[in-house]
């Protein structure tokens, strides 16, 4: 694993990397040996397009107050919605659906929409698409608990609430898929609110990082997961202004 500037993952501590970190630029010349890149800005997620990269993780914190607001929000009002939308229409498309879910319309909800909007714009830019299939899901069961590669080219995920996506290094992928619940080898976990862009198996032969959603059935926990994809046959119809 390396960071987006070609150095070993971990805090950069010299002036040379400080400027690159500020811009979020990606070193295009040196793909990581294990296909995994850490970045410290939303722009750094574009590193998924660097040849040899299979997973980019933006290590980040949510805006002030949003984590606490999400944690204390009544789980029953967390959204479970899906829209196919142009990035510029995210707010008008999402707000009525959040109203229907009963999610309180306050400043923190505005911050949440802003954050999702930024990620939708970034994903559209990274993948070169006009509309993004946006799934914002309330999950309180063992969703996608099996180790797998996604049946997509590229997918963005982040957990706004609850435990984060688990993944394994490529060297452990075959064992994790073979052993599933019995797998007890090395397991990586996204940090709280980290944003990950994964390549899936449609990115090419032998492509894609093996991962799973954390099993949470029976724990009482509720996750709020954002999942961004290109349009497919199961996407909803495009959102249009009423
Ligand atoms: Fe997945």
Segment among 26-35, 39-48, 123-132, 184-193 with least mean pLDDT: 26-35
Q: Is residue 114 helix, strand or coil?
A: helix
> Residues 170-180: what's their mean pLDDT?
94
CA of 150 to the centre of ligand 1 (A): 5
What's the whole-model pTM score?
A: 0.87
CA of 191 to the centre of ligand 1 (A): 17
Mean pLDDT rounded to a whole number for the chain: 87
CA of 81 to the centre of ligand 1 (A): 18
CA of 125 to the centre of ligand 1 (A): 21
Segment among 54-63, 81-90, 120-129, 208-217 with least mean pLDDT: 208-217
- pLDDT score for 91: 97
Specify the DSSP class assigned to residue 238: B
pLDDT at 20 over 50: no
CA of 18 to the centre of ligand 1 (A): 33
CA of 148 to the centre of ligand 1 (A): 6
pLDDT at 36 over 90: yes
CA of 227 to the centre of ligand 1 (A): 9
What does the alpha-carbon distance between residue 93 and residue 207 come to, in Å, rounded to a whole number?
34
Taking only the tens place, the pLDDT of each residue in 85-144 is: 999 999 999 999 999 999 999 999 999 999 999 999 999 999 999 999 999 999 988 778
CA of 41 to the centre of ligand 1 (A): 23
pLDDT at 26 over 90: no
pLDDT at 21 over 90: no
Neighbouring-strand partners of residue 190: none
More confident residue, 141 or 55: 55
- Which long-range CB contacts under 8 A does 66-70 form with residues at least 24 apart? 66/108, 66/111, 66/112, 66/115, 67/192, 67/193, 69/108, 70/108, 70/112, 70/160, 70/161, 70/224
pLDDT at 182 over 80: yes
What does the alpha-carbon distance between residue 169 and residue 163 come to, in Å, rounded to a whole number?
19
Contacts of 119 (CB under 8 A, 6+ apart): 42, 156, 158, 195, 226, 228
- pLDDT score for 163: 94
Taking only the tens place, the pLDDT of each residue in 224-236 is: 999 999 999 999 9
């Amino acid at each position: 694993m390396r960071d987006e500037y070609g150095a070993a993952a971990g805090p950069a501590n010299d002036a040379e990397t400080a400027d690159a970190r500020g811009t979020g630029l990606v070193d295009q010349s040196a793909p990581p040996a294990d296909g995994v890149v850490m970045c410290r800005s939303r722009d750094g997620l574009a590193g998924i397009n660097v040849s040899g990269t299979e997973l980019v993780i933006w290590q980040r914190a949510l805006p002030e107050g949003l984590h606490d607001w999400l944690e204390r929000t009544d789980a029953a009002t967390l959204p479970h919605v899906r829209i196919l939308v142009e990035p510029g229409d995210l707010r008008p498309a999402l707000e009525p659906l959040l109203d229907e879910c009963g999610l309180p319309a306050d400043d923190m909800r505005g911050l949440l929409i802003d954050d999702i909007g930024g990620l939708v714009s970034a994903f559209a830019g990274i993948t070169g698409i006009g509309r993004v299939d946006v799934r914002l899901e309330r999950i309180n069961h063992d969703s996608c608990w099996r180790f797998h590669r996604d049946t997509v080219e590229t997918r963005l995920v982040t957990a706004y609430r609850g435990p984060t996506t688990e993944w394994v290094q490529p060297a452990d992928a075959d064992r994790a898929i073979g052993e599933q619940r019995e797998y007890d080898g090395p397991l990586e976990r996204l940090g709280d609110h980290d944003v990950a862009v994964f390549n899936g198996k449609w990115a090419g032969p032998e492509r894609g990082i093996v991962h799973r959603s954390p099993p949470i059935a029976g724990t009482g926990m509720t996750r709020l997961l954002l999942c961004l994809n290109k349009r497919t046959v199961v996407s909803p119809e495009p959102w249009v202004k009423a």
